[in-house]
A and B are shown apart, each in its own frame.
Chain A
């Protein structure tokens, strides 16, 4: 765990975006909550500050929508952990979100005169 290099430039993550990030992470395979949090922090170089406390409610919402499923299994540390798996509907949702995101990102880039 390396602390964020420059705390002043961290960006808060919006709720809908968090769900998209979690779904994207789960395309790697079944993971428990802690592993998801780790992965998000590592991948974004800790630029995206995922409030760990909001990760778990987000997972509950994904469960209710049927985009992920959960089961209890033994972790490599020999403890019982709750593993999440993305469903087919979750993948579909992710594809839609990504294409939405790309459209918006492109539009913003144009407005900012970068593309």
Chain B
């Protein structure tokens, strides 16, 4: 601790300054007085004793001087002087100071914001988990024949049971489904909450203790158990029960069952993912939310669970992985069903960390990392700009500097003074940056990781340390160049010659800094442009449906004892009610929801052994719909006719997609052809094609493959599709989507008191997460790019302004010699444009060289997209012209008489 004690002492001396000298003096006084006292006790006269004491101590003044030196007071005095001087200088030009502090604040603030996000979302395990380093998530990967690797994050229940038995590798193993939104309560009170289905040992594996009540017992979570008990998340307990202990024993209707509250999870624990979980229920109890049908616990084919294991002490992840892979591969021999399985060559097991940044390669994570890099560029631009401003100021103060040098102030000290300037500005910038981060973090979090459990975000120690460090670095970086430049002896020599001679000096450093700023702005603008182009390309995709006009309303009734006719009647009533709402163009019913869940049933073509163009076990998607479904979705019929109300009970008919028609009946007219749906009763006969619809996106927006699909009349739906039906509604225009969605929710939800939560969403919102990486990339790059451009513009302006002031005399001479206003304008603006050309060239070179980094994040856009590069190269010119116009105009106003008379 010697370092700390010593530092503490130095700080004390620094802060007490002159008063510390008094302390030293008092100490010597005490010494002399005590010695004299001893002398008098020994019998000496008081005067003699005092004299003797002084003599023995030596020269008091010299001793005091040496004490001062030993304590380092002189050095601190100088530092304090420099600090006071710098503060006084900065407060004397508030405009300059504010501009610099704001520039740095945005640069540092952008970094602090991205640090807070990346640190919380990517670099740490979800909160509240004990010893997260020993936890692993089990995933599988398959190397396909094509050489590509597919990672599967979910596992089947039997796989989980087998992992659970590997007690030599894992202390505890648990399985989770979710969190997903589950319906809570019924009728008008119905809401939703993020619910997870959990297996044995969920909380024990994560090392969590209940805040209230208890967690599940083994019996309650066992696959044959399934007690209807629920554990609440801390936040949900607060919101729903006001944090009352009386919540224990209360009941909640979750999906189709009543659950009794038995416990509350601790504060700060949000589950095993970053999505805050509101409640946990045992898997076996969750009728209607499980996968894999009635024998889910034995179904190997249904992979739907996240499996998390705590490594046994002394077991390394590598060992666990090697051992578990051997066993796991033996159980999971690739079956012959399905394209993926048939192509799978090497199945392998992966153990990944719960820290998201270490395992997931989701586009949001990539974008977050990229943005963290981009924020560094913004900071670099800000530093370059501040360095430039400080340099300008240093040159303006050149006489003062020259005088200081002449008076023998060391170059060392001059450099220290400039650095102090930079550091003070950096510190102020850092303080304001905290405010920027405080406002920025919630914004970026919402944009990037909506729904993540970061509600209780605050300025934590790590962020403070990061900000302090960044501010220090930025201050040093901004201060060091001006310090070296302005204190250069040769320059100082030149400066002694007075303003006019010094004026012709053009700082190459300043121009270089401008080029750096300009080039980096170009890089950011190029990033913006590339993301915007990606969005444009996505927007231009032929979707075969109108994303911006469609609303879907999902009602999960889960059977519960109604006949098919009763169910249909209820949905017909809903459809009629919704259809009469103002602004609704059409409303239809569908089994199978676009982008939400698809059905595919085995087909047989008369005269064919297997279906053309498909692997075994794969079939086209089908939708059982009412007559106006295609019109509602905005999918056009290209041949034949669409479904009509009469088709509900007539002969079996279908509308097929263009792709299906092409693959099934190549070279023939699909209309009039027929196929068998195997699941239908054998007597049902052949389904006849009556029309061909355009191809439409159904699973994902961006999947380059075109899925085959066909549409049956809802009344002719195969037996296994008689369940929950979705309402699909078309709004008269896109602006009506938001008000209509809430009107529809109200209308349907209040129809019957036993309805669970009706999920009404715009189709555009359903697919929005797919577009988020590009939207976000475009927005954030755009924001940072605009910021960079603004900073660069300020930089250009200040440099040109200063340059004009410097060339005051020269310009006066030119005007006196007959230079016209246009010539002067060209001279000044031309100088700025010259810098911009170099900056643009350097920036484009960086983009061309570094574009690869962006390639994976772009959609059908080359990182060297010519249009983007062209626009991006043009923008800085406009900015430079604008920024230099005012100084140039001022240059034309130079009065030759004044200019020539000035010293």
Cβ of B6 < 8 Å from any Cβ of A? yes
B25-33, B96-104, B539-547, B770-778 - the one binding chain A: B25-33
CB-CB under 8 A for A1 and B38, given A33-B31, A52-B56, A88-B1: yes
Cβ of B9 < 8 Å from any Cβ of A? yes
Cβ of A87 < 8 Å from any Cβ of B? yes
Enumerate A57-89 residues with CB–CB distance to B below 8 Å.
57-58, 60-61, 63-67, 69-70, 72, 75, 77, 79-82, 87-89
Residue ID in chain B nearest A87 by CB atoms: B5
Distance to closest chain A CB from B852 (angstroms): 52
Contacting B67 at CB < 8 Å: which of A34, A57, A77, A80?
Answer: A57
Cβ of B682 < 8 Å from any Cβ of A? no
Are B67 and A56 in contact, with the CB atoms below 8 A? yes
Interchain CA distance A87-B59 in the complex, whole Å: 30
Are A90 and B70 in contact, with the CB atoms below 8 A? no
Are B71 and A60 in contact, with the CB atoms below 8 A? yes
Interchain CA distance A57-B70 in the complex, whole Å: 6
Enumerate A22-61 residues with CB–CB distance to B below 8 Å.
32-34, 37, 51-54, 56-58, 60-61
* Most A Cβ at <10 Å: residue of B34, B59, B66: B34
Interchain CA distance A51-B55 in the complex, whole Å: 11
Are B26 and A80 in contact, with the CB atoms below 8 A? yes
Contacting A53 at CB < 8 Å: which of B2, B27, B42, B59?
Answer: B59
Are A66 and B4 in contact, with the CB atoms below 8 A? yes
Interchain CA distance A102-B706 in the complex, whole Å: 89
Cβ of B58 < 8 Å from any Cβ of A? yes
Are A33 and B62 in contact, with the CB atoms below 8 A? no
Interchain CA distance A65-B1 in the complex, whole Å: 10
Are B9 and A66 in contact, with the CB atoms below 8 A? yes
Please, how many residues of chain B have a CB less than 8 angstroms from a CB on the other chain? 36
A58 proximity list for chain B (CB < 8 A)? 70
Cβ of B23 < 8 Å from any Cβ of A? yes
CB-CB under 8 A for A65 and B69, given A32-B30, A79-B33, A82-B23: no
Residue ID in chain B nearest A81 by CB atoms: B30
Are B69 and A57 in contact, with the CB atoms below 8 A? yes
Are B2 and A66 in contact, with the CB atoms below 8 A? yes
Contacting A56 at CB < 8 Å: which of B3, B4, B7, B28?
Answer: B28
Distance to closest chain B CB from A1 (angstroms): 6
Cβ of B850 < 8 Å from any Cβ of A? no
B27 proximity list for chain A (CB < 8 A)? 33, 56, 81-82
Enumerate B187-213 residues with CB–CB distance to A below 8 Å.
none
CB-CB under 8 A for A1 and B33, given A63-B71, A64-B72, A69-B5: no
Cβ of B35 < 8 Å from any Cβ of A? yes
Are A89 and B5 in contact, with the CB atoms below 8 A? yes
Residue ID in chain A nearest B60 by CB atoms: A53
Are A79 and B71 in contact, with the CB atoms below 8 A? no
Are A63 and B30 in contact, with the CB atoms below 8 A? no
Interchain CA distance A66-B11 in the complex, whole Å: 12
Cβ of B10 < 8 Å from any Cβ of A? yes
Are A61 and B23 in contact, with the CB atoms below 8 A? no
Distance to closest chain B CB from A17 (angstroms): 17
Residue ID in chain A nearest B28 by CB atoms: A56
The digit string for B11-32, where 1 denotes a CB below 8 A from any CB of A, is 0000000000001101110110
Interchain CA distance A52-B52 in the complex, whole Å: 13
CB-CB under 8 A for A69 and B9, given A56-B28, A82-B27: yes
Interchain CA distance A32-B32 in the complex, whole Å: 13
Distance to closest chain B CB from A33 (angstroms): 6
Interchain CA distance A1-B42 in the complex, whole Å: 8
Enumerate B321-357 residues with CB–CB distance to A below 8 Å.
none
Are A34 and B31 in contact, with the CB atoms below 8 A? yes
Interchain CA distance A58-B70 in the complex, whole Å: 8
Interchain CA distance A48-B468 in the complex, whole Å: 51
Distance to closest chain B CB from A81 (angstroms): 5
Cβ of B491 < 8 Å from any Cβ of A? no
Interchain CA distance A6-B596 in the complex, whole Å: 105
The digit string for A1-14, where 1 denotes a CB below 8 A from any CB of B, is 10000000000000
Are B34 and A60 in contact, with the CB atoms below 8 A? no
Residue ID in chain A nearest B57 by CB atoms: A52
CB-CB under 8 A for A34 and B2, given A52-B58, A63-B71, A79-B30: no
Contacting A87 at CB < 8 Å: which of B2, B7, B57, B63?
Answer: B2
Are A66 and B5 in contact, with the CB atoms below 8 A? yes
Distance to closest chain A CB from B554 (angstroms): 69
A34 proximity list for chain B (CB < 8 A)? 30-31, 34-35
B28 proximity list for chain A (CB < 8 A)? 56
A70 proximity list for chain B (CB < 8 A)? 9
Interchain CA distance A62-B30 in the complex, whole Å: 20
A81 proximity list for chain B (CB < 8 A)? 27, 30, 34
Distance to closest chain A CB from B674 (angstroms): 93
Cβ of B39 < 8 Å from any Cβ of A? yes
B71 proximity list for chain A (CB < 8 A)? 60, 63-64
Cβ of B619 < 8 Å from any Cβ of A? no
Interchain CA distance A88-B4 in the complex, whole Å: 12
Distance to closest chain A CB from B297 (angstroms): 62
Interchain CA distance A41-B71 in the complex, whole Å: 25
Are B2 and A90 in contact, with the CB atoms below 8 A? yes
CB-CB under 8 A for A77 and B63, given A63-B71, A69-B9: no
Cβ of B603 < 8 Å from any Cβ of A? no
Contacting B70 at CB < 8 Å: which of A51, A61, A92, A93?
Answer: A61
B58 proximity list for chain A (CB < 8 A)? 51-53
B66 proximity list for chain A (CB < 8 A)? 53-54, 56-57
B56 proximity list for chain A (CB < 8 A)? 52
A54 proximity list for chain B (CB < 8 A)? 66
Contacting B3 at CB < 8 Å: which of A51, A52, A66?
Answer: A66
Distance to closest chain A CB from B64 (angstroms): 9
B4 proximity list for chain A (CB < 8 A)? 66
Are A64 and B67 in contact, with the CB atoms below 8 A? no
Residue ID in chain A nearest B65 by CB atoms: A57
Are A64 and B2 in contact, with the CB atoms below 8 A? no
Distance to closest chain B CB from A109 (angstroms): 32
Are A60 and B67 in contact, with the CB atoms below 8 A? yes
Are A64 and B6 in contact, with the CB atoms below 8 A? yes
A–B pairs, 9, beta carbons within 8 Å? A33-B30, A34-B31, A64-B6, A64-B72, A65-B2, A66-B3, A66-B9, A81-B30, A81-B34
Name the 8 nearest CB pairs between A and B, nearest first: A89-B2, A66-B6, A53-B58, A66-B5, A60-B70, A66-B2, A57-B70, A53-B63
Residues of A within 8 A of B (CB): 1, 32-34, 37, 51-54, 56-58, 60-61, 63-67, 69-70, 72, 75, 77, 79-82, 87-90, 92-93
Further contacts, 6 of them, CB under 8 A, given A66-B1, A79-B30: A33-B27, A33-B31, A56-B63, A66-B4, A67-B5, A79-B34
